[in-house]
Amino acid sequence: MSYEAYKDSSLGFTTRQLHAGYNPGEHYRSKAVPIYHTAAFELGDFDRCTRLFDYSEEGHSYVRFSNPTNDVLEKRIASLEGGSAALSLSSGMAAISNTFLNLAAAGDEIAAVQTLYGGSTTLLNKILPEYGIRGRFIEDENDIESYKRAINEKTKAIYIESLGNPGMNIVDIEAIANLAHENGIPLVIDNTFATPYLIKAFDYGADILCYSATKYLAGHGTIIAGLVVEKGGFDWHNGKFPQFDSFYEEYKDSIGEEELRKNIFTKRLRIRYLTDFGSHLSPTNAFYLLQGMETLSLRMERHVENALKVAQFLESHPQILQVSYPGLESSPYYNLAKKYFPKGSGAILSIRLKGGLEAAKKVLERVRIFDYMVNVGDAKSLIVHSATSTHFGQSKEQREKAGVYDDTLRLSVGIEDSEDLIADLRQALDSL
């Protein structure tokens, strides 16, 4: 048997999304990734138990720590991103919150843009401060000087989104990464809206990627899942991260110095947080996520094709005040989109209606294909009023800094026939 596609990193993206990280020969030659639906695994013998629990041997003991199904998922996303390691978690917010906890301790800060998903803003603004970790928000995400002013000796990372939620703004990722590295801190990116198919974020200087894999990676709207991917090679021993120094000393003999220097962020994330905070992803959901990822590139091609057509239609409609989509030539982010997103600028767009809140309500009532839901990234098209859902609980000032107004609707453009999507929006808008 000569099958080796599972370990060949030179293969194309679409080939690797089907094969990477899974060797059927290690799983009774099942071509589909099996679901290891068990809470625990046999330890074998006394000596092997010791090796598993001091991490000198890789293996599985209890599913809160690892599972063979999840292991395939983690290797696959790492391959697609070009990263060194990855970890699967129970949700996107679990991925983000555990990442922040791995980076920062009481007294530390995370510098973050204001154009974020509402849950991330709440985490940085309200929840983490209760544990002594502060989110310091950057005044102007388009001005590199604003980033410089937000960084001090307490800063442990810069946090951005590759495509902002819901305004689809794009920041200069490469410039921000350079600034982060000049200050000895990593750039952390929520890459949910873009996926590894639309942007190779590590090529532009990102160090850690977070995902709500619920969205485009899965694509079918049936699971909740999160992922964290490490690029590898960041110097965590530069004096700014004492927690990694102590972790290294604790495990260098059992895990190995070379492995820790390459993947220490992921190792510590798994051992310190996944294991003891318990935000593991069920193997069944890992299986469903893998199923979705097998068609990622094909779906994203259709998503971005449809989104551009819908955005162009909306831009021409008299009831529309503004369309926020970086793929439009009128977008202030068009040039950045060409640089960072040559395959397309995603499939989320935000619109403002001339008729204000009442017009937004009427559109939500009258669309017949776009479904009124808070999710995005589904193969099916969705629509939501962000101010009363994803950004609910934030002040008007906070919402507007994120590009969310009372007249704003966020659209997640699916893979249906674009003519049907445009017709649906036209009939809803024409009735205003």
Q: Are strands 408-412 and 382-384 parallel, antiparallel or unpaired?
A: antiparallel
Q: CA-CA distance, 373 to 233, in Å (whole number)?
A: 40
Percentage of the chain beyond pLDDT 70 is 100
**Which tens digit of pLDDT belongs to each residue from 364-409?**
999 999 999 999 999 999 999 988 987 877 788 878 777 889 999 9
pLDDT digits (tens, 9 = 90+) for 65-95: 999 999 999 999 999 999 999 999 999 999 9
Q: Where in the chain is the domain with CATH 3.40.640.10?
A: 11-292
What pLDDT was estimated at residue 1? 62
- pLDDT for the residue numbered 225: 98
For residue 47, pLDDT over 90 is answered with: yes
Beta bridge partners of 410: 350, 384
| 288-311 residues labelled b (16+ CB within 10 A) or e (exposed) | bbbbbbbbbbebbbbbbebbbebb
Residue 322 has pLDDT above 90, yes or no: yes
Q: What are phi and psi of 187, to 5 degrees?
A: -95, 120
* Residues 6 or more apart in contact with residue 192 via CB below 8 angstroms: 92, 161, 165, 210, 211, 212, 215, 216, 377
Cis amide bond preceding 166, omega within 30? yes
Tell me the β-bridge partners of 18: none
Nearest-angstrom CA–CA distance, 408 and 219? 24
155 — pLDDT class (breaks 50, 70, 90): very high
Q: Provide the 10 A C-beta neighbour count for residue 393.
A: 11
- 296-430 has which fold? Aspartate Aminotransferase, domain 1 (3.90.1150)
Letter for the amino acid at 347? A
Taking only the tens place, the pLDDT of each residue in 191-245 is 999 999 999 999 999 999 999 999 999 999 999 999 999 999 999 999 999 999 9
CA angle 113, 237, 276 (to 5 degrees): 75
Contact yes or no for 279/99 (Cβ under 8 A): no
pLDDT at site 397: 81
Q: What is the dihedral of CA 253, 256, 258, 259, to 10 degrees?
A: -140
pTM, entire model: 0.95
Q: What is the residue-averaged pLDDT of the chain?
A: 96
What number is the average pLDDT over the span 419-425?
A: 98
User: Side chain identity at 5, as an amino acid letter?
Assistant: A
Query: Cβ atoms within 10 A of the Cβ of 329, count?
Result: 9
User: Percent of the chain at pLDDT above 90?
Assistant: 94
Question: Looking up tokens 């991490």, which residue turns up?
Answer: 55
Considering the chain, tell me which residue range(s) the CATH 3.90.1150.10 domain(s) occupy. 296-430
Burial string for 58-88 (b: 16+ CB within 10 Å, else e) reads eebbbbebbbbbbbbbbbbbbbbbebbbbbb
- How far, in Å, CA of 291 to CA of 217, rounded? 9
pLDDT at 403: 82
DSSP 364-404: HHH-SSSEE-S--S-SS-EEE-GGGTTTTTS-HHHHHHTT-
Using an 8 Å Cβ cutoff, are 189 and 173 in contact? yes
Q: Which CATH number fits domain 11-292: 2.40.50.140, 3.40.640.10, 3.40.1440.60, 3.30.200.20?
A: 3.40.640.10
DSSP code, position 280: P
Q: What are phi and psi of 157, to 5 degrees?
A: -175, 160
Average pLDDT over residues 267-276: 96
pLDDT over threshold 70, residue 56: yes
